[in-house]
Structure 1
Amino acid sequence: MDTVSTPEPQSDLLQKSVDNREKERKAVTPKRRVYCSSSPLVEFLNPLEKVQVRVGENAQLHCSFRSLGRTAFCWIHNRKKLVVDGERTHIESSSNSSILTISEVFAADAGSYSLFVRNQRGTAQHTIILNIRDRPERPASCPFVSQLTPSSLVLSWCGPSYDGGSAVTNYVVEIQSLGPSDTRDWTELTSTCKDTTYRVCSGLHPQGEYRFRVRACNDMGISDPSEESDCIKMDTAGRENLSFVDVVIDTTHKVKDHYNIHEKLGVGKFGQVFRLTHKETGRVCAGKFYRAIVSKDKEAARKEIELMKQLHHPKLVQCLGAYDIRSEITMIMEYVAGGELFERIVDEHFEHTEPNSMQYMRQILEGIQYIHRKSIVHLDLKPENIVCVNSVGTLIKIIDFGLARKLEPGKPLMVMHGTPEFVAPEVIHFEPVDLAADMWSIGVICYILLSGESPFQGSSDSETLALVTAASWEFNSEFDDITDEAKDFICKLLKKEKRARMSCEQALAHAWMASSSSSRRVTKSLNKDKMRRFLVRQKWQKTGNAVLALKRMAHLSHRSDGSESPSMSMSEQAVASLEQQLRSQPSFPQTFHDLTEPCGATVYMACVIQGYPNPEVVWLLDDEPLEETERLQIQYKEDGLCTLTLAQVQPEDSGIYKCCASNYLGQALCSARLTVAR
């Protein structure tokens, strides 16, 4: 029996034809834009690095650039999106430049201003440092008194939270005499004090009463005076540091009798620290509750309290009281609310530079110099024991004197405790230690502060200790942009032979410390990524909880797939939004036209394509996709120019040529007729 085929309906044949054509079209490899690897993403033209103005003047930050195609850009101030109010802050922009004008600048306007430029290839940025020059703010604390004798004393204070945009060059120390016949006028003791300590050794009467204050100076002028010190009575010599609390140990009450106990602030080898508030005054303090069960632990706790009672310096956490009863020993300390210094530094809103790092090292040295002059060695200097006074300034304090010891003549001190990465070689060798052990630790802290990595970190504690004992270290790549003075400072501290290390006095007199007052050059921000990883590792080692550490690492850095962390900052969101601004469906600002060419000629058709994401391109002849051959070449360049070149044209090449550009937002088409004359 013959099989009779039934003709397919015309509509089905048409649909098959369309389907086949679509299959053929899909089989064609779309043309993608080709970028020149040697051309920069965005070229900034003669960019400004620094703008310096006085308070009240107008600041203009101009940035020109060269970029292919459409661009989107935004300004970020100190890692925060710049708020443009149109009154005091104004931006004028074109396709290749942006001018930011700030009228009547304040001190708060100072900092880094980054212009982020986004084009189809990616994002580039240029940062301009705006330096607002003004008088310094007044010193952050009143002068504190120590080493009081009937005819002399030592003053110490905290420098200003903001130096006015120019380094503090000196301090003016003023005195007020409070005797019955005195005028109570303030007179100048000195105007050439270079540090935040000053010994007054003349002009003081043994029966006199005095107050002191200080002013900070830079090349723009002199600050307002600090707060006044307490009244100092010279005839009370022997009761040292009268401007600090004279601690009396309470042996009859419990802490709970006077304080409310709140959240835990930290846990150490010798006890736990809680936040406290005084029931009557409401004053916030910190309470260190010792694990003092056996007599040996109780004796260690009492030694720390006795030692802390002697330490009165603005760079050291202060002891405010103590409770010692049979079941509990507690030390009351001032509450330092700013958190660990390194945690502050890695915050995205915090500018981390070499000059800032030098100022932190100066403060550490000032505090350690004070205890060294009392023959006390800290023995546990490490980043977590350097904390910020508050959450906004740059003042620090040294905490945790649980391992500190007082050196006694003729009695060698040998210890076997500390944190492996920070202990000096003589501690590991169980040799006599002295003040130089702290200087080694200061060198390690400085190395990490500038590079984010530990110079002696090994894969295990034993490997770390081996590196320390060998004093085996070198500068990593992060030090390529660090000054020679800073590297020399570290080299003179990380000496295996302890007698070769700098003392605090020598370190404070080092050229790196002096560079702040003589150098005006702006250094770039230091990379924080390695310090973030360092902090993660420290927390991991401290808690032993790898899961928490991994979660923290995921929060601190970008995810491995290149997408942003879920908790993006406002500045990150602003930069990410630039990509959104660029998005557009394809269009043809320039198209090709109908052509009539003779046989054998070479035909050239060109159009310009815009759109983001970059459109993919397919060329068609009479709706049939075209593939490249030796005779037919297609180019799609980085400036959006797309060309079709057809050599040795023949009559059969005649027809309608179309260029189809598409991205996920849409599709555009341009076409022209080619007629090949016989």
Structure 2
Amino acid sequence: MLLWFCASPGAVVEFVACEEQVEVQRGAQARLHCSFHSSSLPVACCWIHNREKEVVDGPQTRISSSQSESTLLITHTMPHHTGTYTLVVRHRHGIQRRSVYLSVIEAPLAPASPPLVSQLSTRSLVLSWVGPNYDGGSAILGYVVEMRAEAPGQAGDWCVVANRCMNTSLRVRSGLEPQVMYRFRVRAYNSSGASEPSEESGLVKMETLEEKEEEPTYVTVTVDTTHKVSDHYTVGKKLGVGRFGQVFLLRHKQTCEIYAGKFYRCRTSKERKAARREMDIMNYLHHPKLVQYLAAYDTTSEVVMVMEYIAGGELFERIVHESFEHTEPTSVRYMKQILEGMQYVHKQNIVHLDLKPENIVCVDSTDIQVKIIDFGLASKLEPGKELKVMHGTPEFMAPEVVNYEPVGLETDMWSIGVICFILLSGESPFQGDNVPETHALVTAAHYEFDQESFEDISDEARDFISSLLQKDLRNRLSCDQALDHPWMASFSRPTTRTRTLSKKKMKSFLARHKWKKTAWAVQALHRMTALSYRPDYPGEPSEELAWGGEAEQAIERLAEELQKEPRFQCTLRDAVLPEGATAQLTCMVDGYPQPVVEWLLNDERLVETSRVTAERSEERCSLVLTSLRPSDSGIYTCKATNDHGEALCSAKLGVAAQDL
């Protein structure tokens, strides 16, 4: 048997070289290129911008395409060129697509607000601001903070206070003098450069030396039922959302000091009573490690508690930042502050009942001082009266809460043990795949010190955690005992345990919790089937995505470009075979519309029989002749015809008779 064969894989387009993302500076040239292989020819292609508009040759764009590649060149990129560019390749069987995302980056806009001043003292203050409304097409990498001293009728030069501030807040500790007046401004920067400066802050006068020595003053809040919060404060941006309601930034209309306002959702008398209970509890809690409430408003339309604004963000978010070195000694310092705050709370016979990482926040972005927040579930214990609760975050709940048994001050100590476990390892000791599984692990008090995660953690730290995660609450350390634990003292004496701890698992922990917070939004989107959308970057877009009218017309025009007369890619070849053998004559032909093929023998139409069969697979055409006879010798021709013409391909087959 002799086989004339030309390989023909399935009729698909295979993209062999195509970047998923291209980033260029504003004004630079952008080159978007895709190479591909198609087993079905011919092909036609076009570029579509953001699924709406066809990209065509013009003053700033050049397109060059062939049967195996296409290149889009944008000679002078501008911000409006940013977006998804989809190469659509069409062949006779359909279309394939590949998308490239182009980022045109430039310096960001200036921060959207002037820096606001809080926590003012003799030589330090805290600045906070709102980031820019446009990041320049590239992520904001940080902020440059500048200040200028001013005297009556005279202003100094601007100088840099911090050139790598990673957050939208900063505690300024150096360069400030008592009673001197200053202004501040901020620039944002990304990989392209720095923005113009923000608006300048108001004139800030530092406090006197005598004021520096004063002890912190605390306010006993009296609920104002006459005024609204808007009578005394300007309500700013939203800072957060919780089970109680929402938190907004507040600016006092007379002093311009910055605070946070907790707006309660009080649709029922029960919710209003709970808000009032939290206000009453906070009047007992005056301590530097606890958030301080400063005013309260209770009207028909709203219930609001005004509290100090803590600008540093959640503790765990601070720890995973690239600029922060995470070690066991620094973890000791954080845990010591948490214990000092809770020690005061417990001395007031109050139990927090919702201690978790989100409720431990940094005073600012540069210090290691923390405060405990959110006492919305806190309760004051009454002698001789049991308290049972059914609320909290599952992986931080103590066994007695899960089992609906009486709680006590020891219930908070369990949560502190869980926080410490995660702080050192990045893993949650009781996190299951679902809430029932998590509850089962908690009630069993079952956890393990993973060898990999605790490889660099001291034995004292493990003992500290074990002394808190005791199923029987009577066996747990109290705050006093925990502060006296050897691990707490280890940070104050010389130590060699300063190895940096891995942040990888803690980043995963934070990502999982962010996902939980937004899961409701994802579920809602899934229900909006009419608006379902899967981004087409990177990779292939969903076939269900809608194209803009102009883009749809461009894709339809590709069918016209495919129109082509037949052409043989692989032709037949002459051969001689012995009598009785099998011959397979194979060639490949393309054209659009797909050509009609017929076989000829010596210019006469060949009729199929039991020995002679024609086969067709995509572009591949074959004629199989079995049990060859001398009469099968001749000129075989494959004739391909479509609306645009015809093509012929011929070869001579000789059959040699066998000798008797």
Give TM-score scaled by structure 1 length. 0.52
Return the alpha-carbon distance in structure 1 between the equivalents of residues 597 and 391 of structure 2: 69
| Residue from 641, 655, 672 that aligns with 2:620 | 641
2:117 maps to 145
| Residue from 466, 474, 477 that aligns with 2:440 | 466
Question: Deviation at 1:211?
Answer: 1.9
Q: Which amino acid aligns with 1:64?
A: S
| Residue from 236, 247, 251 that aligns with 2:225 | 251
Return the alpha-carbon distance in structure 2 between the equivalents of residues 118 and 138 of structure 1: 45
Cα deviation per residue 1:37-68 (whole Å; 9 max; x = unaligned)? 8x9951424x5566554321222223323322
Change in Cα spacing, 1:183 to 1:131, as seen in structure 2 (3 Å) is: same
Change in Cα spacing, 1:463 to 1:57, as seen in structure 2 (3 Å) is: same
Cα deviation per residue 1:619-645 (whole Å; 9 max; x = unaligned)? 899999858x7x55655456x121112
Structure 2 residue 413 is the aligned partner of structure 1 residue 432: yes
Change in Cα spacing, 1:578 to 1:226, as seen in structure 2 (3 Å) is: same
| Residue from 17, 22, 37 that aligns with 1:66 | 37
| Residue from 283, 304, 327 that aligns with 1:331 | 304
Q: Which residues in structure 2 correspond to 1:378-417 (within 5 Å)?
A: 403=376, 417=391
| Residue from 146, 149, 156 that aligns with 1:174 | 146
1:241 maps to none
1:88 maps to 60
Change in Cα spacing, 1:48 to 1:258, as seen in structure 2 (3 Å) is: closer
Structure 2 residue 190 is the aligned partner of structure 1 residue 211: no
Return the alpha-carbon distance in structure 2 between the equivalents of residues 441 and 616 of structure 1: 70
Return the alpha-carbon distance in structure 2 between the equivalents of residues 119 and 425 of structure 1: 64
Change in Cα spacing, 1:416 to 1:470, as seen in structure 2 (3 Å) is: farther
Structure 2 residue 268 is the aligned partner of structure 1 residue 299: no
Contact 2:189-2:195 within 8 A present in 1 as well: yes
Return the alpha-carbon distance in structure 2 between the equivalents of residues 100 and 127 of structure 1: 12
2:588 maps to 608
Question: Deviation at 1:94?
Answer: 1.6
Q: Which amino acid aligns with 1:180?
A: P
Give 3-state SS (helix, strand or coil) of 2:196's partner. coil
Q: Which residues in structure 2 correspond to 1:176-215 (within 5 Å)?
A: 176-183=148-155, 185-191=157-163, 193=165, 196-215=168-187
Return the alpha-carbon distance in structure 2 between the equivalents of residues 78 and 442 of structure 1: 43
Q: Which amino acid aligns with 2:433?
A: G
Change in Cα spacing, 1:55 to 1:424, as seen in structure 2 (3 Å) is: farther
Return the alpha-carbon distance in structure 1 between the equivalents of residues 433 and 190 of structure 2: 44
Return the alpha-carbon distance in structure 1 between the equivalents of residues 423 and 297 of structure 2: 33
Change in Cα spacing, 1:437 to 1:153, as seen in structure 2 (3 Å) is: farther
Return the alpha-carbon distance in structure 2 between the equivalents of residues 424 and 80 of structure 1: 55
User: Structure 2: which 5+ runs fail to align?
Assistant: 1-5, 213-220, 234-239, 249-260, 307-319, 325-333, 343-351, 359-372, 381-386, 403-409, 469-481, 488-499, 535-540
Change in Cα spacing, 1:219 to 1:270, as seen in structure 2 (3 Å) is: closer
Q: Which amino acid aligns with 1:642?
A: C
Change in Cα spacing, 1:120 to 1:465, as seen in structure 2 (3 Å) is: farther
Change in Cα spacing, 1:155 to 1:84, as seen in structure 2 (3 Å) is: farther
Return the alpha-carbon distance in structure 2 between the equivalents of residues 424 and 112 of structure 1: 49
Return the alpha-carbon distance in structure 1 between the equivalents of residues 186 and 118 of structure 2: 16
Give 3-state SS (helix, strand or coil) of 1:290's partner. coil
Q: Which residues in structure 2 correspond to 1:132-531 (within 5 Å)?
A: 132=104, 134-160=106-132, 171-183=143-155, 185-191=157-163, 193=165, 196-217=168-189, 221-235=193-207, 250-252=224-226, 269-270=243-244, 288-291=264-267, 293-294=269-270, 296-300=273-277, 302=279, 323-325=297-299, 329-331=302-304, 403=376, 417-420=391-394, 430-432=411-413, 456=431, 458=433, 461-466=435-440, 470=446
Q: Which amino acid aligns with 2:304?
A: M
Change in Cα spacing, 1:111 to 1:305, as seen in structure 2 (3 Å) is: farther
Contact 2:228-2:297 within 8 A present in 1 as well: yes
Question: Deviation at 1:149?
Answer: 1.1
Question: Deviation at 1:610?
Answer: 3.8
Equivalences, count: 514
Change in Cα spacing, 1:99 to 1:292, as seen in structure 2 (3 Å) is: same
Return the alpha-carbon distance in structure 2 between the equivalents of residues 593 and 67 of structure 1: 22
1:348 maps to none
Question: Deviation at 1:417?
Answer: 2.9
2:16 maps to 44
Question: Deviation at 1:75?
Answer: 4.1
Return the alpha-carbon distance in structure 2 between the equivalents of residues 198 and 323 of structure 1: 30
Change in Cα spacing, 1:553 to 1:320, as seen in structure 2 (3 Å) is: farther
| Residue from 549, 559, 568 that aligns with 2:545 | 568
Return the alpha-carbon distance in structure 2 between the equivalents of residues 566 and 36 of structure 1: 23
Cα deviation per residue 1:455-513 (whole Å; 9 max; x = unaligned)? 95635x31243357656999xxxxxxxxx99xx9xxx9xx987999xxxxxxxx98879
Q: Which amino acid aligns with 1:458?
A: D
Q: Which amino acid aligns with 1:418?
A: G
Give 3-state SS (helix, strand or coil) of 1:229's partner. coil
Return the alpha-carbon distance in structure 2 between the equivalents of residues 303 and 619 of structure 1: 97
Question: Deviation at 1:112?
Answer: 6.1
Q: Which amino acid aligns with 2:623?
A: L
Return the alpha-carbon distance in structure 1 between the equivalents of residues 189 and 522 of structure 2: 44
Q: Which residues in structure 2 correspond to 1:512-591 (within 5 Å)?
A: 538=520, 551-552=527-528, 556=532, 568-570=545-547, 581=558, 588-590=566-568
Q: Which amino acid aligns with 2:16?
A: F
Question: Deviation at 1:612?
Answer: 7.9
Return the alpha-carbon distance in structure 2 between the equivalents of residues 172 and 379 of structure 1: 35
Contact 1:458-1:467 within 8 A present in 2 as well: no
Q: Tell me which moved more, 290-299 or 593-602.
A: 593-602
Return the alpha-carbon distance in structure 2 between the equivalents of residues 304 and 577 of structure 1: 67
Q: Which amino acid aligns with 1:65?
A: F
Q: Which amino acid aligns with 2:567?
A: P
Change in Cα spacing, 1:96 to 1:569, as seen in structure 2 (3 Å) is: same
1:56 maps to 27
Q: Which amino acid aligns with 1:290?
A: C
Return the alpha-carbon distance in structure 2 between the equivalents of residues 323 and 93 of structure 1: 68
Q: Which amino acid aligns with 1:331?
A: V
Contact 2:572-2:587 within 8 A present in 1 as well: no
Cα deviation per residue 1:636-665 (whole Å; 9 max; x = unaligned)? 456x121112134448879999989999x9
Give TM-score scaled by structure 2 length. 0.53
Return the alpha-carbon distance in structure 1 between the equivalents of residues 417 and 55 of structure 2: 50
Contact 2:636-2:653 within 8 A present in 1 as well: no
Change in Cα spacing, 1:654 to 1:269, as seen in structure 2 (3 Å) is: same
